[in-house]
Amino acid sequence: MCLTVPDTLYIVVPCYNEETVLSETSSRLKDKLFRLIEAGLAGAGSKILFIDDGSNDKTWEIIEALHNSDIVFSGLKLARNSGHQNALLAGLMTAMNVSDVTISMDADLQDDIECLDEFMRKYYSGCDIVYGVRSDRQTDSAFKRGSAKGFYRIMEGLGVNIIYNHADYRLMSKRSLEGLASFREVNMFLRGIIPLIGYKTGIVEYARGKRFAGESKYPLKKMLAFAWDGISSFSIRPIRIITLLGFIVFFVSLCMMLYSLVRKATGQTVPGWSTLMISIWFLGGLQLFASGVIGEYIGKIYSEVKARPKYIIETLMDKKRMIK
């Protein structure tokens, strides 16, 4: 590989209440970034960008201290908690203007940073997007492994193009970020949107480790909400399934009506309290479920029509300049 001037790399790291891991994360990433620069895989102006997603601990104070001590660290503070996907998007859009290539990763050190060399090699070989894909899920609980597998299967069944066992550990070139910026929807599900960009892609497999410290920022409630966002943002098949169920129930109702008329004509009618109650509860539950799913889609339309900003930047610190 013959390179004259390596491209500028920004490592983009969203943070929410990560005070327990930031010191170790920053130390390891700084060491790795310098090794990438020495190896000619990243330019001398490469940096690490931490995004504070409205944390209520000392996360921002730590980011400020890191920036003031070394210009290799940049900081972006959002005005409020906007959610992981929006915080990541804010970091990517900020880095797009000052870098040639970005690599996004979580702050908890579960992503193997030694894979960054391979990310960059694939980038220089022509890949605009490189996905970090887990080679296994041995560090996850049985429930998390099963639920993750089920999620990917559901997404595939709904026709969504999604990379199996990939989270948000990925490389994106400047032009792929420009392509991402053209997507204007409010409800952003990056794992589904990025494959729609196109361009040449690559995959780097890695073993995901355990969290260095602190607690996961994705409890079951958030995981379920995130999964539903992905499903409802990229497929209308749930509504079509409801339509199919409606036809099935209507057909069954016709059969039951015919059966009832035959029983009445033959004088075999018996008061069917149990059958009546089961029918009422079944149809009532189906109607409520259908109304709920349709309501979720209407709610998303409502959010999209209002087009409120996905995030608001309060402070940007880069190259010892503070912009407010």
Of the pLDDT bands very low, low, confident and very high (cuts 50, 70, 90), residue 195 is confident
Q: What single string gives the DSSP state of each residue in 8-62?
A: PEEEEEEESS-TTTHHHHHHHHHHHHHHHHHTTSS-TT-EEEEEE-S-SSSHHHH
pLDDT of residue 143: 59
> Model confidence over 134-192: pLDDT tens digits?
876 665 556 566 666 666 676 666 666 677 777 788 999 999 999 988 887 777 777 77
pLDDT of residue 323: 41
Burial class (CB in 10 A: 0-12, 13-18, 19+), 278: exposed
pLDDT of residue 215: 57
CA 24/CA 20 separation, integer angstroms: 8
Q: In this structure, is the dihedral angle defined by the CA atoms of residues 288, 292, 293 and 298, taken in order, positive or negative?
A: positive
> Model confidence over 96-149: pLDDT tens digits?
988 999 999 988 888 888 889 999 999 999 999 999 888 766 655 565 666 666
Pair type for strands 321-323 and 129-134 = unpaired
pLDDT, greater one: 135 or 198: 198
Give the pLDDT mean for 189-197: 81
In the block, tokens 């190259």 appear at 319
> Model confidence over 227-246: pLDDT tens digits?
556 555 655 566 667 666 66
At 277 the three-state DSSP class reads helix
pLDDT, greater one: 195 or 9: 9
C-alpha 233: how far from chain center: 12
- For the cut 90, the answer to whether the pLDDT of residue 293 exceeds it is no
Q: Any residues with CB less than 8 A from the CB of 74 and at least 6 apart, and which? A: 10, 47, 48, 49, 50, 67, 316, 317, 318, 319
Share of the chain above pLDDT 90, in %: 21
> Model confidence over 28-47: pLDDT tens digits?
999 999 999 998 899 888 99
Of the pLDDT bands very low, low, confident and very high (cuts 50, 70, 90), residue 197 is confident
* Closest listed residue to residue 52, CA positions, set 88, 15, 2: 15
CA 90/CA 232 separation, integer angstroms: 22
CATH superfamily of the domain spanning 9-219+310-323? Spore Coat Polysaccharide Biosynthesis Protein SpsA; Chain A (3.90.550.10)
pLDDT of residue 36: 92
Q: Where are the domains of the chain?
A: 9-219+310-323, 237-306
- For the cut 60, the answer to whether the pLDDT of residue 2 exceeds it is no
Q: What single string gives the DSSP state of each residue in 211-228?
A: -SSS--S--HHHHHHHHH
pLDDT of residue 166: 78
> Model confidence over 63-82: pLDDT tens digits?
989 998 888 999 999 988 88
pTM of this prediction exceeds 0.75: no
